[in-house]
Structure 1
Amino acid sequence: MSEPRLWRYLAENASGGVERGDILAGSSSHATQLLAARGVVAVEVREVGLSGNPARSGRLPSAHIADFTEDLAELLGAAVSIHDALASLAEGETRRRLREFILRLEARVRGGHSLSESLKSDPANPPRILIAMTAAGEESGQLAASLNDLAVRLRAEQTLKRDLAGQLAYPAVLVCLIYLTLVFLAFIVLPQFEIVFADSAVEPPAETRFVIAVGAFLRSYAVWIPVGLVGLAWLSRAAMARFPLVATRIRRTVPIIGPAMWKLDAAAFARTLGVLVKAGLPVNRAEQVARGAVGDAGMRDGMSRAADRVRGGTALSRALDEQNILPRDLIRQIRLGEETGALDTFLLRTADRYERMARSRLTRALELLGPVLIVILGACVAGVIAAVMSGVLSLNDAVF
């Protein structure tokens, strides 16, 4: 079958009413057949654009995936068939990329493919955990429950990201304000005093010369400083990807932030692994997917080595303990879960605790950062004023 394309149709339904909408199909005749399977007669079918192009589709935002998973779980839980659930979601969806994603899935499911196969082959490249949870739900016959568990996990992740982003907004605004204040002083205030000092034969004090030099530097490079910072951030990210183990050690040495991010990565691994194990996936398969939820490249590298040991017959807790990449408490919880047969319960409970701890630490750090930045802003302004006044007083001393 040719690559699915998007078709807009005008049709007559069973009650004689007019129905309009979009459908994904390989051709106009295929679209007509799909409409007939729904019980409507196509009057007009015309192509409105390609949807199967990977370059056009791209990866869907995480919020879109969370909405799709939650809505699909709700419909499947109400005993709606999978293709009817997808059709219903596509009909009510207003976001173009998500709608086309759902239409592609519907076309493949109606063509005889399973939902997990359709997700795996979709050009939008949905998260591996969604594919794995769907496959596990199909194997166990509990697809609605599996997707509901995943939806809870995705919502928790979205809430955490939104909270952290909101808390970072205030310090970010203060940093920009500090920079703009320094630029204003450098371009507007200091040049007036530089003229005064240039016309006098008096050597200004050292602090005044320093402030004037800083002002001259900002006037010359103010535009390039943000560019340089972005470039430095890019180089740092590339270096962290190139040397993950070194980056991991450096990150953990950062006060407050380092341990909190380590906890968040451990929580992401524990929650993803717990959700997958609860859905019925074997530990070795679940671990491969859960590893992808970890942002720390050094931690992922250690987990990969641990996975090789697990395939050789070593228990997961022991293999992870040998790598020294996760908190000791999490290793202990995994060991208890393996011994009691309740691995998913221990993992999910530990993930909840780690997220609370990390959120609390980051919140305290960001709350402290605001006043510190305000003090820095005040110190910068006061320092410039004091330096300028010191220079003016030196002129008065020279005159009198």
Structure 2
Amino acid sequence: MGVFTYEALDNKGRKHKGVLEADSPRQLRQKLRADGLAAVAINQAEEKQAKAGKSSGQSLFKRNASDAEVALLTRQLATLVAASIPLEECLHTLAKQIQKPHLKSLISSVRSRVLEGQTLADSMAAYPKTFDTLFRAMVAAGEKSGHLDTVLERLADYTEHRQKIKGQLIQAMIYPAILTLVAIGVVTALLTAVVPTVVDQFTHMGHELPAMTQALIAASDFTRDYGLHIVITILVLLILRQRLLRKPKHRLTHDRILLKLPVAGSVFGGVDCARFARTLSILTSSSVPLLEGMKISADVLVNTHMRESLRQAADRVREGTSLWRALDQTLLFSPMMLHIIASGEKSGELTAMLARAADNQDQQFESQVNIALGVFGPLLIVVMALVVLFIVMAILTPMLDLNSLVSG
């Protein structure tokens, strides 16, 4: 049985689009005819995916499922599996409930592979952009252990938590960026449009201007003469940076330097440390071996330097080193996280302690973000006020001097 996308017309000439399963296009036309629809175009979804290119890792359509959509699908599937319904029927029911075409095609195609005899994890492997290595490894462990519903619930919780952290990171970066761009835009507008108009009347008088006003005129001339060149240079540097980061060697160096930055380094490093601990906790609780769990947990990290360091830590654990000592040698984890992980190893509660370490790191991240946002906004406003005050004083000073000369 295959998955087909179709376009059809009803009796009133209205167009309908959708996704259905059928053994052949002919059978699909019969299904549509029974529903009062006349097929206009029928395409096999698998062929579309093949044309898109398997190496690209894209799903059936150009649009990939978001983390929120994946979390919802996973939780719904967990509920159906927990009801002791056969897996293919669970997937069929889930596909019928979904309204969005790209998600319906995704689940229908996964079900088709399951009907062909593949495991759920292997069926999901065809869509790596939607179901990553961690997701598939946990599903495989759940299928082997017979606790697929529990594993799917954990995956839904993890995906929702990851979406929350991602949203916090975006907020932490967007808010300062917007404030900075607005501040730069206001200052640039003052220097290029307002200041020249006001100051020109003083320069024609031949009167010696104060040092503050001369500095303002110089800044205004520099902005008008070289402002566009500076913007173009910054854009070119950003493009070059993106191209250089495509090379693994340069990416590794960049990520290593990023971790050494005063504030951003600790924030981004802490987020990845928490992600590693939480992922490893979920994997070990799903009966995935520790070494395999460490490798999978390392692969989900964003920072390539941390990824390589934790892969080396996994090699040390294979050689007999305890987990917390191997992590300590990476110089990436805070003493608190290492202490919690060491306690988990000694007490035999490693899974729970890893989750606690991740929670502790997440709380620290949230507090750092709140403090940074609370400090940056007022600080930028103060800086803007000082800049505007400087511009106003540079304009008013020669005007006051002129009034003094006229009155004298």
TM-score (norm 2): 0.82
**Contact 1:134–1:143 under 8 Å retained in 2:** yes
Match of 2:12 in 1: none
Q: What one-letter code is carried by the residue in structure 2 that aligns with 1:78?
A: A
User: Any gaps of 5 or more consecutive residues in structure 1?
Assistant: 11-18
Equivalence for 1:22: 19
- Match status 1:274 vs 2:274: no
User: Partner amino acid for 1:6?
Assistant: T
Distance (Å, rounded) in 2 between the aligned partners of 1:131 and 1:170: 35
Pair 1:353 & 2:360 matched: yes
1:155/1:124 Cα in 2 relative to 1: closer, same or farther (>3 Å)? closer
- 1:320-360 deviations in whole A, cap 9, x for unaligned? 23332322333333333333332211101111111011111
Contact 2:19 2:101 in 1 (8 A): no
Q: Return the match for 1:325 from 332, 347, 361.
A: 332
In the alignment, the residues of structure 2 paired with residue 61 and residue 365 of structure 1 have an alpha-carbon distance, to the nearest angstrom, of 28
Query: Aligned equivalents of 2:76 and 2:328: distance in 1?
Result: 39
Query: Is 1:121 the equivalent of 2:123?
Result: no
Letter of the 1:337 partner, please give it.
G
Amino acid at match of 1:384: I
Letter matched to residue 79 of structure 2:
E
* Counterpart AA for 1:333: I
Q: Does 1:171 align with 2:176?
A: yes
Q: Choose which of 295, 298, 302 in structure 2 pairs with 1:295.
A: 302
Counterpart position of 1:104: 109
Given residue 197 of structure 1, which amino acid in structure 2 is its aligned partner?
F
Structure 1 pair 20/250, CA: closer, same or farther in 2 (3 Å)? closer
Task: State whether residues 5 and 25 of structure 1, in contact with CA within 8 Å, keep that contact through their aligned partners in structure 2.
Answer: yes
Q: Distance in 2 between matches of 1:260 and 1:57?
A: 33
The partner residue of 1:63 within 51, 63, 68 is 68
Q: How does 1:47-62 map to 2 (within 5 A)?
A: 47-48=42-43, 50=45, 51-52=48-49, 53-54=52-53, 56-57=61-62, 59-62=64-67
From 88, 91, 113, the counterpart of 1:83: 88
User: 1:229 offset after TM fit, Å?
Assistant: 4.2
* 2:337 is the counterpart of 1:342: no
Moved more, 19-28 or 141-150: 19-28
CA drift at 1:9: 8.0
Letter in 2 for 1:211: L
C-alpha spacing 1:164/1:20, structure 2 compared with 1 (3 Å): closer
Deviates more, 1:132-141 or 1:322-331: 322-331
CA, structure 1 residues 381+347, in 2 after alignment: closer, same or farther (shift >3 Å)?
same
- Summarize the Cα distance change of 1:244–1:327 in structure 2 as closer, same or farther, 3 Å threshold: farther
Who is 1:371 aligned against?
A: 378
**Paired residues of 2:19 and 2:104 also in contact (CA < 8 A):** no
For residue 172 of structure 1, what is the amino acid of its counterpart? A
1:58·1:125 contact (CA, 8 Å) conserved in 2?
no
Unpaired runs of 5+ residues, structure 2, are 10-15
Secondary structure of 2:329's counterpart equals helix
Maintained 8 Å contact 1:146/1:279: yes
- Cα distance in structure 1, aligned partners of 2:23 and 2:219: 65
Cα distance between partner residues in 2 of 1:227 and 1:93: 46
**1:201 equivalent in structure 2:** 206
**Is 1:258 the counterpart of 2:265 in the alignment?**
yes
| Partner residue, 1:305 | 312
Distance 2:157 2:24 in 1: 38
Aligned partners of 2:333 and 2:283: how far apart in 1?
A: 19
Tell me if structure 2 keeps the 8 A contact 1:58–1:123: no
- Summarize the Cα distance change of 1:378–1:49 in structure 2 as closer, same or farther, 3 Å threshold: farther
Go from structure 1 to structure 2 and tell me whether the alpha carbon gap of 1:304 and 1:31 turns closer, same or farther (over 3 Å shift).
Answer: farther
- RMSD (CA atoms): 3.5
Report Cα offsets for 1:263-289 as digits up to 9, x if no partner.
Answer: 211110000010011011011111111
Q: What whole-Å deviation, never above 9, does each CA across 1:245-267 have from its counterpart, x for those lacking one?
A: 65455434444443232221111
Structure 2 CA distance for partners of 1:191 and 1:231, relative to 1, 3 Å: same
1:141-191: per-residue Cα shift (whole Å, max 9, x none)? 111100111111111121222234345554333223212211321233112
**Partner of 2:300: helix, strand, or coil?**
coil
Q: 1:107 to 1:349 in 2, by over 3 A?
A: same
Q: CA deviation at 1:49?
A: 6.7
Q: How many residues align?
A: 388
Cα distance in 2 for partners of 1:105, 1:386 equals: 69
Percent identity over the alignment is: 29
Residue identity opposite 2:142 in structure 1: G
TM-score, normalising length: structure 1: 0.83
Structure 2: distance between partners of 1:327 and 1:356: 14
Displacement of 1:222 in angstroms is 4.6
How far apart are 1:28 and its partner, in Å? 1.6
Query: Counterpart of 1:6?
Result: 5
Cα pair 1:310 1:316 within 8 Å, conserved: yes
